Structure 1
Amino acid sequence: MAAGRINAADTPAELVELVYASRLLGKDDRLVMHGGGNTSVKSVLTDFIGNKVNVIFIKASGVNLASADVGDFTPVRMDPLRKLQQMYAFGQRHSEEDIKCFSTREFKNFLYLNLFTLTDHMVSHSLTPSIETLLHAFLPHRYILHTHSLALLTLSNQAEGERLCREALGQSYGMVPYSQPGLGLAKFALGAYEERPAIEGMVLHKHGLVTFGDSAKEAYDRMIDGVNRIEERISSAERKVFASVPMPASIATVEQVAPIVRGACSFEKTPAEKDYQSFVLEFRNSPALLDYLKIADLEAFSKKGAMTPDFIIRTKNHPLVAPAPDADDLEGFGKELRKRVERYVEEYRAYFERQQQATGMDVSMIAPMPRVVLVPGLGLFGLGLSAADAKLTADIAEHSALAMLDAESIGCFESISE
């Protein structure tokens, strides 16, 4: 155990406030979904020998904001984070390349070693500080909230995303160019604040929205107000009408299609062992989703990339588009689907190898099968190794598809580069 200690009875009032605001955000799927987003508050704790220690409580990676409790916020000592800020953000040394070389593993170890305490709850649930801890620590505000608002992503994921976001939010928000979470993003965010210290929040392009305040309520109110303004900007825009493709006279049912999808996406756990793993499927077919699935350019749309990099963990970099399932030719549907799955696997392996070579990271590839299957005329399948995983994937995929449709309706969706 580390040298600090937090007793339940001595939970700081500001942390209780943060938990309440976090749960409100987590229950609104316009803002975050299934462990996305992060929130923080800066506080002072007393260690076991009576020293006052500045800390930042930040939501642990992967914890669902909707159900987060005080034990799910990891307390990190601020002094080492400020030292890192001085080293990197103020240009005393280190190039941009140095920042990129500060590997995820090294960064996580740094945060872990600077925890104020390591509780039994943190150990049993493998809780670690968010990868975006530095974003929160470099900014001076007491309460900071960060969401992956789909409305914000609809506007920012455009060629003229900065202009559109500024039109919606005005001068009260800073604009931060896309950067991978970690030192680079924290440095750009600090720069946006220093340029205009009176801002109420900032747009992290192609990533999310950040608001801050002296109280949890102030930061929360700013988040809701900002998202409402963005949604109003989207609803007021002139919208395109998309060409659609003709569908078979008789579309197969989900009961007929699901087993074919499941079989086509099964994979061998160990090569040549004939031991196969099948996915659990979660199905979605809302009217708005069906409108998206009949678009003539669906294949091209589907390969434009994820709404935000956080979603790739669950949905991969893009879904698989199946043929429309003709109820009178299920054999033909299955044959074509298997071909498309084989092509998807080949493309994913090539994508993984390119990324591994570009980053130099020694990581193992997860199963290359698709996690989202779009079936025109029928609906969407989310795939997971458990029912919970499949539901999570389907939630993200459905919301992303509708947000992408909004983005294309008012402009041209543009994700981050590969």
Structure 2
Amino acid sequence: MEEVKTYKYVNNLWDEQKAKSLGEDEIALLLYRSNILGADLRITNYGGGNTSCKVNMVDPLTGEDVEVMWIKGSGGDIGTLKKSGLAALYLERLHNLERVYKGIQQEDEMVELFNHCIFDLASKAPSIDTPLHAFLPFKHIDHLHPDAAIAIAAAKDGKEITQQLFEGTIGWVDWQRPGFDLGLQLRACLEENPGIRGIMLGSHGLFTWGDTAYACYVNSLDVIERCAAYLEQNYGKKGPVFGGQKNDSLDQAGRESQAVKLMPVLRGFCSSERHMIGHFTDDVRVLEFINSNDLERLAPLGTSCPDHFLRTKIQPLVLNLDRSENLDDSAALTAKLEPLFTAYRAMYTAYYEQCKHADSPAIRDQNPVIVLYPGVGLFSFAKDKQTARVAAEFYMNAINVMKGAEAISAYTALPRQEAFDIEYWLLEEAKLQRMPKPKALSGKIAFVTGSGGGIGKAIARKMVQEGAVIVLTDVNTERLAGCELEFVSEFGRDSVISVAMDVKDEQQILQALQRTLLAFGGIDIVVNNAGLSISKSIEEHSQADWDLLFDVLVKGQFLVTQATVPILKQQGVGGDIINIVSKNALVSGPNNAGYGSAKGAQLHLSRLCAAELGPFKIRVNVVNPDAVISDSNIWAGGWAEGRAKAYGIRVEELPAYYAKRTLLNEVILPEDIANACFSFVGGLLSKSTGNVLNVDGGVAMAFVR
């Protein structure tokens, strides 16, 4: 049994029993090693780094033993890597590519030739890092992006520090964009320094290796541990971290309050080209950096590691706002932020124009990804929540790198031309072009009331399926918790949050919206779906019944709309409000005085809001369901019995009764209402407001005209 090693700055997650259960399956051990490396963000970031192993396998064409390299494929993440995410290539064929390689000007062409080396045709497309592993002779190789190692790699004196710290056992290769030539340089470094245990790539990361998966893993941890310990020993020797503190942080409540006020305005600016989802963090590492004297010097330099840079853009936007100012006046806040965004876009355009090549792709979104607000925190904006969250994590990695590099020497970022050549690399552009087309609601944030079950849950599911992130709200906390667990399992943690909320309670609504803004940055779609029903004759109706119906249905719709409209206005990108009303808003029937009246009020309130909010590109539309029985709370509490009594039938006969009275003779399901809601927000009806869409199977009495 291998000796269990313990570390201070990284986690040793190797489980000998788990490893033994994998036997001598080197590919399984590669996946195991990769996953536990990726589980520690101090070792490598999401999607960053690469791992490989070389194994002998039987060639299906010749029946002979051949050496095959299994390596993380293009676009993968080692922390979640599965066999389907590996590329498998004939090692000899990869080596033979050297015969046709004509120099660094041919780098992009070489990537196409990797396809001629594929061993397993079902494996993932090879990544640009493939030759970096192929030309090193070791069975197992890790290429990682640990903050502690990159801090040394990005230091002005990084090469000398590496030599001294590791006493010549770690080689050094200057910064170069990944590709075939860099693979040859790694091999040359090894040949010039036989016996080394790894190689530091300037500004980029770390290569380590071993003859077994475990030896490789431990070697990686050992090197990272020594780097981290060295940084720890040097913090403060040159002076205070980041030049000392310039600003104090607000307390947590103050930071969150400022973030809530800023988020929709920032999101509006960052969504000038396409809708973006936001993320906010006030992590202590972020606060240390943004409150420092060195912020103004270091922030414009940008990041050093290519992976950090690709996620966070050339540099962040720093908000030079007075934190004591009142941010409640959104118009004044917008006026203050506009010149900052104008200047950032001008900077980015100038960067593009100065660095572009004749064949460079067209300029991309000119808005920042990372926004820093001293004393408050970091905001990030991207196409979806996961990308926004990961961008913030990558910038924290960059902060760690800057902190370490400054402690031992001086931080050096990628030269702007090098950064541009990565950002607008034709291979990166090709990768972007291969990505699936965004879904109709990508970048959108939906807020659905009464979404713990029934119609609301179906609407929420449809929104997420079409690319939105969702805020589930319900007064029934048990149903809400179950719905959230289901959605997280189906769509992932980044797609959903839930907030217990009573639509009759203004304070609960405001608290739910604060949670929404901190989680996602704004709102695009509001669905007023929360409801209940009471079926009694006019004589049996009590004032309490009447008040409850109007409080939940009418007042609830009013309060939620009133609270969300300012957010929609602050973003300045329009939005949708959909009110789930009822056929009963248009049709008179027995035992329905309170419910029908409340639904009529909901319908007219919708018309009034459509008329008022149209100038702000906020569309207000109505969906009128009827007889949606499946999983609906509306049929609890005596409503079904009341309706059955009114029609002179038994409760179990209601579904068939409702279907037969429709022109289409159809049972209406929650999914039908969800599809109707999507028709309003999916893009095809973007010029439609004040409309009523009946989803009732065809009830002639409910025709609007």
**TM superposition score normalised by structure 2:** 0.52
Give the aligned partner of residue 129 of structure 1.
Answer: 126
Shift of 1:73: 1.1
CA separation of 1:246 and 1:199: change in aligned 2, threshold 3 A: closer
- Which of 366, 386, 389 lines up with 1:368 in the alignment? 366
Give the aligned partner of residue 205 of structure 2.
Answer: 208
- Which of 389, 407, 413 lines up with 1:391 in the alignment? 389
Q: CA–CA distance in 1 between the matches of 2:283 and 2:100? A: 51
Give the aligned partner of residue 161 of structure 2.
Answer: 164
AA aligned to 1:36 is G
Structure 1: segments with no counterpart, 5+ residues: 1-9, 89-93, 269-276
SS at match of 1:393: helix
Q: CA–CA distance in 2 between the matches of 1:235 and 1:333? A: 41
Please identify, of 311-320 and 225-234, the stretch whose mean Cα deviation from structure 2 is larger: 311-320
Check conservation: 2:155, 2:409, Cα contact below 8 A: yes
CA separation of 1:248 and 1:308: change in aligned 2, threshold 3 A: closer
Give the aligned partner of residue 322 of structure 1.
Answer: 319
AA aligned to 1:343 is A
User: Is 2:178 the counterpart of 1:178?
Assistant: no
* CA shift digits 1:284-316 (9 cap, x unpaired): 102232121112331221111213012222111
Check conservation: 2:107, 2:181, Cα contact below 8 A: no
Superposition map of 1:23-34 within 5 A: 23-34=35-46
Report the identity percentage.
28
Check conservation: 1:25, 1:66, Cα contact below 8 A: yes
Q: CA–CA distance in 2 between the matches of 1:363 and 1:155? A: 33
- The higher radius of gyration belongs to 2
Give the aligned partner of residue 407 of structure 2.
Answer: 409
Check conservation: 1:323, 1:336, Cα contact below 8 A: no
* CA shift digits 1:56-86 (9 cap, x unpaired): 1110122111111122111112222112235
Q: CA–CA distance in 1 between the matches of 2:23 and 2:182? A: 30
Q: CA–CA distance in 2 between the matches of 1:202 and 1:410? A: 19
Check conservation: 1:323, 1:333, Cα contact below 8 A: no
Give the aligned partner of residue 290 of structure 1.
Answer: 287
Check conservation: 1:176, 1:205, Cα contact below 8 A: yes
Check conservation: 2:38, 2:80, Cα contact below 8 A: yes
Q: CA–CA distance in 2 between the matches of 1:246 and 1:21? A: 42
Shift of 1:151: 0.5
Q: CA–CA distance in 2 between the matches of 1:346 and 1:189? A: 39
SS at match of 1:210: strand
Check conservation: 2:48, 2:307, Cα contact below 8 A: yes
CA separation of 1:64 and 1:326: change in aligned 2, threshold 3 A: same
Give the aligned partner of residue 102 of structure 1.
Answer: 106
- Which of 111, 115, 118 lines up with 2:114 in the alignment? 111
Check conservation: 1:292, 1:402, Cα contact below 8 A: no
* CA shift digits 1:70-114 (9 cap, x unpaired): 2211111222211223565xxxxx4xxx31x1243x232111232
Check conservation: 2:155, 2:408, Cα contact below 8 A: no
CA separation of 1:350 and 1:328: change in aligned 2, threshold 3 A: closer
SS at match of 1:253: helix
Shift of 1:342: 1.4
User: Is 2:57 the counterpart of 1:57?
Assistant: no
Give the aligned partner of residue 51 of structure 2.
Answer: 39
Shift of 1:245: 3.3
AA aligned to 2:398 is S
**TM superposition score normalised by structure 1:** 0.86
CA separation of 1:143 and 1:316: change in aligned 2, threshold 3 A: same
Q: CA–CA distance in 2 between the matches of 1:230 and 1:36? A: 19
- Which of 215, 232, 254 lines up with 2:259 in the alignment? 254
Shift of 1:257: 1.3
AA aligned to 2:263 is A
Q: CA–CA distance in 2 between the matches of 1:240 and 1:280? A: 38
CA separation of 1:11 and 1:222: change in aligned 2, threshold 3 A: closer
AA aligned to 1:349 is T
Q: CA–CA distance in 2 between the matches of 1:229 and 1:180? A: 26
Across the two proteins, how many residue pairs are aligned to each other?
Answer: 383
Give the aligned partner of residue 344 of structure 1.
Answer: 344
Give the aligned partner of residue 304 of structure 1.
Answer: 301
Q: CA–CA distance in 2 between the matches of 1:23 and 1:355? A: 38
Q: CA–CA distance in 1 between the matches of 2:249 and 2:91? A: 61
CA separation of 1:239 and 1:289: change in aligned 2, threshold 3 A: farther
* CA shift digits 1:17-71 (9 cap, x unpaired): 1111111111110121111100111122223332433221110122111111122
